[in-house]
Amino acid sequence: HRDLHSFPTRRSSDLENKRFTCYPSIAKEINSGIYCDKPTVIDDKIMTGRGVGAALDLGLLMVSVFYGKENAEKLQKAVVYGV
Q: Could you tell me if 38 and 50 are in contact, meaning their C-beta atoms sit under 8 angstroms apart?
A: yes
What are the distances in angstroms from CA 49 to CA 38, 60, 61?
8, 11, 10
The H-assigned helical ranges of 34-81 are: 55-67, 69-78
Question: What is the arithmetic mean of pLDDT over 8-30?
Answer: 80
> How confident is the model over 26-72, as pLDDT tens digits?
888 888 889 999 999 999 888 899 989 999 999 999 999 999 999 99
What is the pLDDT confidence band of residue 15, given thresholds at 50, 70 and 90? Answer: confident
What is the pLDDT confidence band of residue 82, given thresholds at 50, 70 and 90? Answer: confident
pTM of the prediction? 0.74
